[in-house]
With several copies, the nearest count.
Chain A
Amino acid sequence: MTEKDQELNLRQRLSGLSRLPLLRGVRVNGESERLERQLERLQADTSDEAIWRSVELARHADRPYTMDYVERFIDDWVELHGDRGRADDGALVTGLGKLDGRTVALIGHQKGRDVKERLDRQFGMAYPEGYHKAMRVMEIAERFGFPVISLIDTPGAYPGVAAEQHGQGGAIARSQAEMARLTVPTVACIIGEGGSGGAVAIAVSDRVLMQEHAIYSVITPEGCAAILWRDAGEAKKAAAAFKPDALHCLELGVIDGIVAEPEGGAQNDHDEAARLLRTALVENLEELEDTPGEELRRRRRAKFRGMGVFA
C-alpha cells in the first residue's frame, strides 16, 4: 500500500469507530477527536509486517516494565505484598502511590529484568496468588475511593501444576468479577504483552488503553500456530490472522485508546514512554472522576457486555 492508501484506510477505520457499540455511551466529548489525532500521529501501518513488529517490540528485552513506570511517575510509592493466604507473587506488583497528586492503587505485571529476577517473577506469569493479591488491593481501593490503575504485561497466567491446584481458572474469573464490582474509576493499559486470561484478569476497566506497540491476544502467536498450522514456526502467519496489535484492538472496540510510544518503540526512551503513559492515565482518570461510582460500574459492565460480533 502507498502512504496515501494507508491514510485512506485509517480514515475509514476511524469513521467506523463511532458505529461500534463499545464506543457509544462510553466516550466523553472530545475523545474521538483525540483518537483521530492519535491515529494521524501514529501514521499507522496495519500490514502483517507491522503487526509482527509490534509482537517483537511488545516482548523487547529492554521494554519498560511496570516498575520502570512506577519509578518515573508514581510518588510516595508503597508496595503492598502478599495474598494473606499463601504467598507473595512477584509476577504481579501491587501498591499505593500518588499519580498527579491523587492516591491510586496500582496493579502491574513485572517480568523481571535479569535472569534471577525473571525466575523470581516467573517471567511475569502470575499464580492464582498474584490475582488474590490484586483483589486484596482492589478492596482497599474500593474502601477508600482510590482509582485502580492496571499495567498489563504478561505472556499469560502461569501454566504449572501448583498454579492449577491452587485454582488458576477460578482466580482469574474472580479477579475479573471483583473489577466488575468496583465503584472507583479504573484505567488499564497494556504496556507489553497482554496475554490471554492472565492479562484480562486485571483489565476489566472503565478505560482500557494499549501502548502503540503492545499486543493483546487470546493466545500467543506461537501457540496459535502450533494448533492451527501444526507448526509453531508459523507464528507470524498466526499473528497476521488474529491481529493482536493496538490498531486492530481499537477497531474491534476492545480498547478505548492508544498511547503513543517514543520513536521506534518504548525501549528507546523510558523517560519519554513514561511521560506519554502518565499523560494518558491522568487524562483518562480526570474524565472518569466526576462520574458517580454506581454509574461507572453500570457503564463498565455495559461496555464489556457489548463486546463481540455475532449475527
Chain B
Amino acid sequence: MSEARIDVQVEHKHAPPPAEKKHPNTCPKCGSHYRDDELAAALWVCSHCGHHFPMRARARIDWYTDPGSFMEEAADVRSEDPLDFFDLRPYAERLSEAELNTGLNEAALIGQATIDGHPVELSVMDFTFMGGSMGSAVGEKFSRACDSAIERGVPLISVTSSGGARMQEGILSLMQLPKTVCAVEDLHDAHIPMITVMAHPTTAGVLASFASLGDVTIAEPGALIAFTGPRVVQQTTREKLPDDFGLAEQNLRFGHIDAIVPRAEQRDHLTRLLRLFA
C-alpha cells in the first residue's frame, strides 16, 4: 500500500517524455523538431507551441545574468559514496557517468553574478545530472549559496529541477532536507530575500525543503511540481487524477506559487523583483 511513494526517481514520474522514444529535440507537445542551435536561440522553448524543453544550468545562467558576471563558487564540492552503494550498478559509476555526460560535477551550480546590474547569488539545478537528485553535495552547495548571499548581502535566486533526494546516499540524502531548510532560515534571519524559479520537475525532497521556502516563487509553464508524482499517486491510491495533476498551472490555482512566467520573460520578471527587494 505504501511503497515507493516518496522521493522516487524521476523516470517514475510524469513527463518529461521518455527520452528513448523521441529525439530530445522533438517537441513532445506538437512534434516540431529543432536543431540544437535553433532551440538554444529560442531559450529551449518550442517556437510553435510554447513547450518548455529542459534548460541546462549553464545555459540558464547565461540567459539570466549579465555577460561575464558569473563567478562559480564551491566548484570543488563533489559527491562521495558513504554507503558504498551498489544496486544494479555502483553509485560511484553512476556519478562518473553523469559527470562525463553533463560536463558538471554535481546537479547544482552556485555562484555570484549580476542581473541587469543587480548583484545576486545564484543556485541553479541541472536535471541532466542524475535527475537533479539531491545528495550531500547538492545540499552543501545550496547551503553555501545561502551563506554567500548573507555574507554579500545580496538576494539569492534559486532555480530548482529535481526528482528528489538521491537515494544512493540513503539517510544522508534525506538529511539534506533539514540541512537546506536550516540554511534558508539563516537567510531569512539575515533578511536576505530568496526568489525561487521552479523548473520541470520540482518534486519530492527538493519541493519538501528549500524549493518551497522562497519569498517569491515563480514556475515555468507546464513544470511538474509535486511531492509525490502522478504515477505513484495513482499506483498507491487508485485515485483518478485530474488532467493537470501536479503541473504548475494546478499549483497556481491551488495557491502554491506566485506566478507562472514563460522563460523568455523570466529575466525581466527577476529584474523587477530585484528592484523591489533592492
Give every chain B residue within 8 A of A179 (Cβ-Cβ): 178
Within 8 A of A (CB), among B156-210: 165, 167-179, 181-186, 188, 191, 193, 203-205, 207-210
Q: Is A83 an interface residue when CB atoms closer than 8 A count as contact?
A: yes
Q: Verify A144–B272 contact, CB threshold 8 A.
A: no
**Chain A 158-190 near chain B by CB (<8 Å), digits 1 or 0:** 011101111111101110110111000000000
Q: Is B8 an interface residue when CB atoms closer than 8 A count as contact?
A: yes
Q: Verify B272–A220 contact, CB threshold 8 A.
A: no
Q: Can you add 5 more A-B contacts, CB < 8 Å, to A78-B269, A143-B188, A216-B174?
A: A82-B257, A181-B185, A196-B6, A197-B227, A223-B8
Q: Give Cα distance in the complex from A40 to B158, angstroms.
A: 46
**Chain B 253-273 near chain A by CB (<8 Å), digits 1 or 0:** 111111100000000010011
Q: Verify A217–B3 contact, CB threshold 8 A.
A: no
Q: Verify B171–A98 contact, CB threshold 8 A.
A: no
Q: Give Cα distance in the complex from A311 to B79, angstroms.
A: 6
Q: Give Cα distance in the complex from A126 to B223, angstroms.
A: 25
Q: Is A28 an interface residue when CB atoms closer than 8 A count as contact?
A: no
Q: Verify B5–A129 contact, CB threshold 8 A.
A: no
Residues of B in contact with A (beta carbons under 8 Å apart): 1-9, 11-12, 76-80, 82-83, 85-88, 135-137, 139-140, 143, 165, 167-179, 181-186, 188, 191, 193, 203-205, 207-213, 215-216, 225-228, 232-233, 236-237, 239, 241-242, 245-246, 250, 252-259, 269, 272-273, 275-278
- Given the known A-B contacts A180-B182, A242-B171, are A169 and B5 also in contact in the complex, defined by CB atoms under 8 Å? no
Q: Verify A227–B12 contact, CB threshold 8 A.
A: yes
Give every chain A residue within 8 A of B9 (Cβ-Cβ): 227
The residue of chain B having its C-beta at the shortest distance from the C-beta of A173 within the complex is B212
Q: Verify A310–B173 contact, CB threshold 8 A.
A: no
The residue of chain A having its C-beta at the shortest distance from the C-beta of B139 within the complex is A308
Q: List 6 A-B contacts (CB under 8 A).
A: A173-B208, A176-B181, A197-B6, A198-B6, A218-B170, A244-B170
Q: Is A152 an interface residue when CB atoms closer than 8 A count as contact?
A: no
Q: Verify A220–B256 contact, CB threshold 8 A.
A: no
* Count, chain A residues at interface, CB 8 A: 88
Within 8 A of B (CB), among A136-161: 140, 143-145, 155-157, 159-161
Q: Which 10 A-B pairs have the closest CB atoms?
A: A82-B255, A308-B136, A223-B4, A169-B207, A222-B3, A228-B87, A155-B2, A169-B227, A173-B212, A242-B170
Give every chain B residue within 8 A of A169 (Cβ-Cβ): 203-204, 207-208, 211-212, 225-227
**Chain A 187-227 near chain B by CB (<8 Å), digits 1 or 0:** 00000000111111101100000000000111110111011
Q: Give Cα distance in the complex from A7 to B189, angstroms.
A: 46
Q: Verify A197–B80 contact, CB threshold 8 A.
A: no
Q: Verify B83–A243 contact, CB threshold 8 A.
A: yes
Give every chain A residue within 8 A of B226 (Cβ-Cβ): 164, 169
Q: Verify B175–A304 contact, CB threshold 8 A.
A: yes
- Given the known A-B contacts A82-B255, A156-B5, are A180 and B181 also in contact in the complex, defined by CB atoms under 8 Å? yes
Q: Give Cα distance in the complex from A302 to B236, angstroms.
A: 37
The segment from A64-72, A85-93, A283-291 that touches chain B is A85-93
The one of A159, A195, A199 that contacts B237, using a Cβ cutoff of 8 Å: A159
The one of A143, A164, A237, A301 that contacts B215, using a Cβ cutoff of 8 Å: A143
Residues of A in contact with B (beta carbons under 8 Å apart): 76, 78-88, 96-98, 103, 123, 125, 129, 133, 140, 143-145, 155-157, 159-161, 163-170, 172-174, 176-177, 179-181, 195-201, 203-204, 216-220, 222-224, 226-230, 232, 237-238, 241-244, 248-249, 252, 254, 300-301, 304-305, 307-311
Q: Verify A220–B275 contact, CB threshold 8 A.
A: no
Q: Give Cα distance in the complex from A203 to B181, angstroms.
A: 12
Q: Verify B4–A222 contact, CB threshold 8 A.
A: yes
The one of A76, A140, A197, A223 that contacts B3, using a Cβ cutoff of 8 Å: A223
Give every chain B residue within 8 A of A304 (Cβ-Cβ): 175, 178-179, 181-182
Give every chain A residue within 8 A of B183 (Cβ-Cβ): 305
- Given the known A-B contacts A169-B227, A227-B4, A310-B140, are A76 and B209 also in contact in the complex, defined by CB atoms under 8 Å? no
Q: Verify B2–A156 contact, CB threshold 8 A.
A: yes
The residue of chain B having its C-beta at the shortest distance from the C-beta of A179 within the complex is B178
- Given the known A-B contacts A78-B272, A310-B78, are A204 and B6 also in contact in the complex, defined by CB atoms under 8 Å? no
Q: Verify A219–B179 contact, CB threshold 8 A.
A: no
Q: Verify B77–A165 contact, CB threshold 8 A.
A: no
Give every chain A residue within 8 A of B171 (Cβ-Cβ): 216-218, 242-244, 248-249, 252, 254
Give every chain A residue within 8 A of B6 (Cβ-Cβ): 156-157, 159, 195-198, 218-219, 223
- Given the known A-B contacts A218-B7, A223-B6, A309-B136, are A197 and B205 also in contact in the complex, defined by CB atoms under 8 Å? yes
Give every chain B residue within 8 A of A180 (Cβ-Cβ): 178, 181-182, 185
Give every chain A residue within 8 A of B88 (Cβ-Cβ): 228-230
The one of B7, B77, B136, B188 that contacts A197, using a Cβ cutoff of 8 Å: B7
Q: Give Cα distance in the complex from A165 to B242, angstroms.
A: 10
Give every chain B residue within 8 A of A307 (Cβ-Cβ): 136, 139, 172, 175-176, 178-179
Q: Verify A176–B2 contact, CB threshold 8 A.
A: no
The residue of chain A having its C-beta at the shortest distance from the C-beta of B188 within the complex is A143
Give every chain A residue within 8 A of B173 (Cβ-Cβ): 218
Q: Verify A173–B210 contact, CB threshold 8 A.
A: yes
Q: Verify B80–A170 contact, CB threshold 8 A.
A: no
Q: Output the least CB separation between A17 and chain B (Å).
A: 15
The one of A129, A196, A203, A248 that contacts B7, using a Cβ cutoff of 8 Å: A196
